[in-house]
Structure 1
Amino acid sequence: MTHNSTLRFGNRVENYAKYRPSYPDKVLDYLQQQCHLTPETPIADIGSGTGIFTKLLLDRGYTVYAVEPNESMRKEAEKQLKSTSGFHSVNGTAEDTTLDDKIANLIVCAQAFHWFNNAETKAEFKRISAPYGHVALIWNNRCIDADDFAIAYELLLTQQTSDYERVNHQNLTETDFANFYREGKYKLVKFPNFQVFNFEQLAGRAFSSSYIPAQDTEAGHRFNAQLNALFHQYQTNGTVMFQYDTEIYLGRV
């Protein structure tokens, strides 16, 4: 993680916690089956943010080390999850988790890996991964051409945001994953996911993204006005939908 990437979401925590999508139950079922997880399995959630994926793991009874360098996001997760059995909040980065050697039977990175330094992260994940442990890199990948609204929203992002195309996780290639996983071997599976929004929720979801101008700036007000026009053009019964492919890259390092 670069210093910049660890700070990017500090002013977006409330929107991030409220409006980012969760993950389908089938994702947890798949990881449990493929990684032979039991309630005693220690899991490291790296770049855990506000704890969206951490909570799903805790709900299944796992012990989770939630590693997050952004203080605001980490404190939000602690506020939500501090009383949950098995939750351990850790101030660390992907490249320096501060966790013990061979502690994790599974390492997960949900919506985070594209911010990491791949080479340093690989070395750190090797250190903290238990023998035969797995690494799951997970994204909710918004379907940018699912319908007319999705196409129009994508066009708005490319035209009105500063670095959307630069920080898009889809910039990662098969070569990046092959270089990261041991012997270049990994599985990729996808599950459908979606969110339905009224305008307030859509705006919250949009402004949770670090590449969109901050909500209380002049540029943010302009973006919000354009988003509002887009919503009213494409809404049906007062809502619009984001469709996602939830992608899981699974292998060993």
Structure 2
Amino acid sequence: MADLRSTERFSDRVEDYVRYRPDYPRALVDWLHGLGVKPDWAVADIGAGTGISSKLFLDAGHRVTAVEPNQAMREAASHWLGAEGRFHAVDGTAEVTGLADGSVDLVTAAQAFHWFDQAAMRAEARRILSARGLVAVFWNTRRLVGTPFLEGYERLLHDYGVDYVSVAERYADDDAMARWFGHGYRGMASFPHGQKLDYDALLGRLMSSSYAPKPGHTNHEPMLKALRSLFEATQDDGTIDFDYDTRVFAGRPDA
């Protein structure tokens, strides 16, 4: 069964999530178009959250249905993107979307994929896909090494994060994703991506993470002190580079 708590895990972090979470590079969509995806393909964005991944496909000309069980996040997506006629949001989960059989051409799952019951999500994706359809799973992987900031930030999360290690270990590797797709696997790609953040944005980015202790937790104030020290030691002209690799996997999963 999926961890039901995951559907409410970000309810009290929506504002930070909207303002400070990274988007995704347009090169990701271009790569999918190279696999045969067309701008007129209808997209079901599963676990769409506040709509960051949905906007990527809206900007590329797709019609997007955002499937999101968390009411606060779903409402944030609708507030942000609802004026676009090609977008609407529905209450549903990765395992039970509520969408009709064969009704979408591209199923996408971004940063929330690791929270899903992945066997049930695979079956649901196959049910709602059209005959030509594909699934694309992607996420931003924060770089852990390479600069003093990145390495210090990783130490900070280990020192103060509430359940950081168990959450980080949920992300699938390349072999696991190939097995998830089975014989219908079409391949993967990786694109460099990043954010340039001042201190307030860095703090918001940290607090958008589900493992960051909230005010009142014994780790919260020490974490903020450590974050300020890290920022002051590594900033360049008032900002730091928060670097990612955006990884995307695509195909049509086996039954």
TM-score using structure 2 length: 0.94
Q: 2:44 matched to 1:21?
A: no
- What is the deviation of 1:166? 0.7
- What is the deviation of 1:36? 2.7
Percent identity reads 40
- The equivalent residue for 1:128 is 128
The question of whether the paired residues in 2 share the 8 Å contact of 1:144 and 1:150 is answered with yes
Question: Superposition pairs for residues 104-143 of structure 1, below 5 Å?
Answer: 104-143=104-143
**For 1:134 and 1:144, how far apart are their aligned partners in 2?**
31
- What is the deviation of 1:215? 4.2
Q: Root-mean-square deviation (CA), in Å?
A: 1.5
**For 1:133 and 1:169, how far apart are their aligned partners in 2?**
30
- The equivalent residue for 2:32 is 31
**For 2:83 and 2:169, how far apart are their aligned partners in 1?**
33
Output the amino acid matched with 1:2: D
**For 1:204 and 1:227, how far apart are their aligned partners in 2?**
11
The question of whether the paired residues in 1 share the 8 Å contact of 2:184 and 2:252 is answered with no
Q: Which runs of 4+ in 1 moved over 6 A?
A: none
TM-score using structure 1 length: 0.95
Count of residue pairs the alignment pairs up = 252
Output the amino acid matched with 1:135: V
- The equivalent residue for 2:156 is 156
The question of whether the paired residues in 2 share the 8 Å contact of 1:138 and 1:247 is answered with yes
SS in 1 for 2:97: coil
- What is the deviation of 1:179? 3.1
- The equivalent residue for 1:233 is 233
SS in 2 for 1:105: strand
- The equivalent residue for 2:94 is 94
Cα 1:77–1:56 change in 2 (3 A) is same
Question: Superposition pairs for residues 1-253 of structure 1, below 5 Å?
Answer: 1-38=2-39, 40-168=40-168, 171-183=171-183, 185-215=185-215, 217-253=217-253
Output the amino acid matched with 1:20: R
**For 1:169 and 1:246, how far apart are their aligned partners in 2?**
17
Output the amino acid matched with 1:14: E
